[in-house]
Amino acid sequence: MKIGIPAETLPGEQRVATTPEVVKKLVAKGFTILIESGAGTAACYPDAEFAAAGAQLVDRSAVFDADLVLKVRRPTADEAAAVRTGTVYISLLESCGADALVAEMTHRGVQVLGMERMPRISRAQAMDALSSQSNIAGYRAVIEAAAHNKRFFPAMMTAAGAAKPARVVVLGAGVAGLQAIATARRLGADVHAYDVRPETREQILSLGAKPIELDLGESGAGAGGYARELSAEAKAKQQAALANELVRAQVIITTALIPCRPAPELITTDVIERLRPGAVVVDLAAANGGNCKLTVADQVIEHQGVTLIGYTNYPSRVATDASSFYAKNLMNLLDIMVEKTTDELRLRDLQNDEITRAMLIAAD
């Protein structure tokens, strides 16, 4: 059974869907790995390491002629057209609702699986790419904040005087938010965190941060561990109550996202203009409109002395480890998709497992 790994073509994307370590394990299981030459270079995985692990270095057309095609990001129109009938295609599809590109693939007989559709159940944790990549995003967000901040994160004592720890506020305590809290605490910051879901309070406390508690008159807890959208009245209460907490911060990291909906606005222009000059806002929701409407996607801007960071692909900024995590997510997924008979590998019926059934885009 052949696995094709194409190079990622989206501008700024440095990850790759497998690594030499994972290739070696897949080859040992009986897979033939076809990887596009140069696919891992940006993630610091040179061709020579893939070849030494047992992969075959091929041109771009050959990787799409495999039995399974594995990518990180959504396919382009040319890539979708290159995948042959009968192939299983797997990546982060980055789509909500109707998707003409994916529909065209499924109607041609390609079985398309979206990594973001992984169900949040115990069995699927080792395959959960959204969590593995969000974890990296939360870490990198703090590193970006520290690099742009003009003050220390930890308390500092010197003969010349003392500096208090930076006050960091993290909005959203999902996977990215919790990692941001943990990273900021490791750097010595005074961390405060807020989430609309009341069950996150204990998690925030367990990481050494202080929970910000607001009475909105309703809960933001949604299905599957995600937040749900608040009512207009609750949103207004939230913005007003948060403002007094936010204006005291030197660093704000926002991670609030609702799947397939515009990012909720948590930081108003008024709050930005009340922050002290030198404050830094890292908006992890920039790709979905931003938790601050002043954020500009993929840019770092200043507004009245406040730096707003709107990068939309933090895992790519830690491409080596992000690729490693993602590759292992895929390898664990293949373990439930493919069975080994006496003389060959055989694809199981993807409808017969609750994980692959949830991930599968059906033609009808």
Residue given tokens 């403002």 in the structure block:
243
Catalytic position from the list 37, 84, 219, 226 = 226
Answer for the pair 119, 354: CB distance below 8 angstroms, yes or no. yes
Task: Return the axis-axis angle of helices 129-148 and 175-186, rounded to nearest 10°.
Answer: 40
3-state secondary structure of 87: coil
In order, the DSSP letters of 119-151 are --SGGGGGG-HHHHHHHHHHHHHHHHHHHH-SS
**Cα dist. 104→91, 98, 111, 112, 155 in Å?**
16, 11, 11, 10, 56
125 as an active site residue: the answer is yes
61 as an active site residue: the answer is no
- The CA-based angle 156-162-166, given to 5 degrees, is 55
DSSP state of 221: B
120 as an active site residue: the answer is yes
3-state secondary structure of 112: strand
Answer for the pair 17, 23: CB distance below 8 angstroms, yes or no. no
Catalytic position from the list 61, 123, 125, 304 = 125
Catalytic position from the list 60, 117, 120, 274 = 120
Residues for the chain: how many in total?
364
Helix (H) or strand (E) holding 235: helix 232-246
128 as an active site residue: the answer is yes
3-state secondary structure of 274: helix
Burial of 339 (0-12, 13-18, 19+ CB in 10 A): exposed
Catalytic position from the list 128, 190, 195, 283 = 128
Helices (H) then strands (E): counts for the chain: 12, 18
Nearest residue to 17 (alpha-carbon basis) of 78, 73, 96, 87: 73
Catalytic position from the list 14, 131, 132, 134 = 131
Residues noted as catalytic:
120, 125, 128, 131, 226
